[in-house]
């Protein structure tokens, strides 16, 4: 069975075509199941859109008008069924499109896309303004254009449904949670679920206490115990928790009336600034890209160093709470663009934690592919702890599409 996994932006459509046939409980390497990958960018742009596809050793980039996501999907299917380079004989071989959907509020799980799912997503538009509207528009269009192709929404909140109530509830006035779904939902669920599954395989145990550090343009930590999420950093919206590349992270909402009064700006204007000019970009006043921040900090730029320090301190603060909540930690896993590639951040996060049994080997950290992973390791995986460390420290590249494909298969089954 072939599943097309879609990751949508307001003007983009990124996809992977995965084969989920056979026994998925066996020793399956997810990367071996990817038949094709591609992207369509600048959808709806007045200029020509960019279409990219990789099928095996074949890589091709083309330009064509793509006015909407329906045309983007058709372009994708045309690429996959190309007589010379495609991997499919017919588009009907695709069993479903699985979406890495963000926020469904009362619909937290994996569902066939129907009117109820779209309505639930629309209810949460204000909580996920950068994600939900483009997904709703694309799903609505694709239902009309491809009525016989099942669409499945795999919501990022589902993995966090197991978090205890005491760690999910805000201390809000009565009725806010019941009437308006105001609670700590958590996100990056597909990534953290993959880390839970893969770390259990690498550790050889399913009862491990794991802290999954998904660090990238958007970052979150999740405490995982017995394979389940028990605490996470993001709350009601993807804006909360750690500082993001250009989003504020945790912030006192009672500062907003003061800011409105003193700046003369509206609430919408201030929220827009917090969501686009805050985070690492706001502190450094240079960039939201950690690579730029690390480079500037190394050259002596004080504001970039402060941005890096704030980011690390917030990671360590939340990590400490998770260690307490689980009564210890067996493994810390770094994933995401920053987690996988920044030895600077990994070193700073693990600094001086020997008393907690967490000891990073700096040589392995600076060249983590030079560590000695087990024979069944996937590309980019490696352990970073010293021989005396009681806690294992890993780099594990995430694979959100694999999780979405398996969850989509579960709905179809």
Q: Is 7 annotated as a binding residue?
A: yes
Instruction: Identify the H or E element spanning 302.
Output: helix 302-326
Token duo for residue 274 = 């917090």
- Pairwise CA distance, residues 383 & 373, whole Å: 6
SS3 state of residue 87: coil
Region of residue 151 (phi > 0: left; psi between -120 and 50: alpha; otherwise: beta):
beta
Do residues 367 and 354 lie in contact, with contact meaning Cβ atoms separated by under 8 Å?
no
Do residues 58 and 27 lie in contact, with contact meaning Cβ atoms separated by under 8 Å?
no
Q: Is 291 annotated as a binding residue?
A: yes
Give CA 216 to chain center in angstroms.
9
- Number of Cα atoms under 13 Å in the Cβ half of residue 268: 2
Q: Is 14 annotated as a binding residue?
A: yes
- Pairwise CA distance, residues 274 & 242, whole Å: 13
Sheet of strand 331-335: strand arrangement = 228-232, 220-225, 209-214, 331-335, 392-395, 382-383
Q: Is 285 annotated as a binding residue?
A: no
Q: Is 400 annotated as a binding residue?
A: yes
- Pairwise CA distance, residues 48 & 377, whole Å: 41
392 DSSP β-pair partners:
331
Q: Is 399 annotated as a binding residue?
A: no
What is the Cα Rg of the chain in Å? 22
How does DSSP assign 315-374, residue by residue? HHHHHHHHHHHHTS-SEEEEEHHHHHH-HHHHHHHTTT-GGGT--B-HHHHHTGGGS---
Q: Is 337 annotated as a binding residue?
A: yes
Q: Is 320 annotated as a binding residue?
A: no
- Pairwise CA distance, residues 85 & 56, whole Å: 9
Q: Helix 267-276 to helix 255-263 angle, to the nearest 10 degrees?
A: 110
Do residues 359 and 388 lie in contact, with contact meaning Cβ atoms separated by under 8 Å?
yes
Q: Is 156 annotated as a binding residue?
A: no
34 DSSP β-pair partners:
18
Alpha helix segments (H runs only) across 52-114: 69-80
Binding residues for Mg(2+): 7, 400
Binding residues for ATP: 14, 289-291, 337-341
Binding residues: 7, 14, 289-291, 337-341, 400
């Amino acid at each position: 069975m072939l599943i097309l996994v879609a990751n949508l932006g307001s003007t983009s459509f990124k996809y992977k075509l995965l084969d989920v046939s056979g026994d998925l409980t066996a020793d399956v390497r997810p990367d071996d199941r990817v038949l094709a990958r591609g992207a369509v960018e600048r959808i709806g742009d007045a200029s020509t859109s960019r279409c990219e596809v990789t099928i095996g050793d074949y890589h091709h980039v083309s330009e064509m008008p793509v006015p909407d996501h329906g045309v983007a999907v058709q372009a994708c299917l045309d690429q996959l069924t190309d007589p010379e380079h495609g991997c499919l004989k017919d588009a009907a071989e695709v069993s479903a499109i699985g979406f890495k959907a963000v926020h469904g509020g009362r619909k937290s799980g994996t569902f066939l896309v129907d009117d109820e799912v779209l309505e639930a997503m629309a209810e949460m538009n204000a909580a996920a303004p950068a994600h939900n509207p483009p997904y709703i528009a694309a799903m609505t269009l694709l239902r009309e254009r491809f009525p016989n192709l099942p669409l499945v929404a795999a919501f990022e909140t589902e993995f966090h449904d197991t978090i205890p109530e005491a760690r999910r509830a805000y201390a809000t006035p009565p009725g806010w949670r019941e009437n308006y779904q105001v609670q700590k939902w958590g996100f990056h669920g597909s990534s953290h679920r993959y880390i839970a599954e893969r770390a259990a395989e690498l550790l050889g145990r399913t009862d491990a206490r794991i802290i999954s550090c998904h660090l990238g343009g958007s970052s979150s930590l999740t405490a995982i115990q017995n394979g389940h999420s028990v605490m996470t950093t993001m709350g009601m919206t993807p804006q909360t928790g750690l500082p993001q590349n250009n989003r504020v992270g945790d912030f006192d909402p009672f500062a907003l009336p003061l800011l409105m009064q003193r700046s003369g700006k509206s609430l919408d204007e201030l929220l827009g600034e917090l969501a686009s000019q805050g985070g690492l970009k706001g502190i450094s006043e240079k960039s939201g890209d950690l690579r730029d921040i690390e480079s500037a900090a190394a050259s002596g730029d004080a504001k970039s160093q402060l941005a890096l320090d704030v980011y690390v301190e917030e990671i360590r603060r939340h990590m400490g709470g998770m260690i307490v909540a689980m009564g210890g930690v067996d493994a810390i896993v770094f994933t995401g663009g920053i987690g996988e590639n920044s030895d600077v951040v990994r070193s700073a996060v693990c600094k001086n934690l020997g008393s907690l049994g967490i000891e990073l080997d700096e040589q392995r950290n600076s060249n983590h592919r030079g560590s000695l992973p087990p024979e069944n390791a996937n590309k980019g995986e490696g352990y970073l702890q010293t021989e005396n460390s009681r806690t294992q420290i890993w780099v594990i590249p995430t694979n959100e599409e694999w999780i979405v494909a398996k969850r989509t298969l579960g709905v179809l089954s």
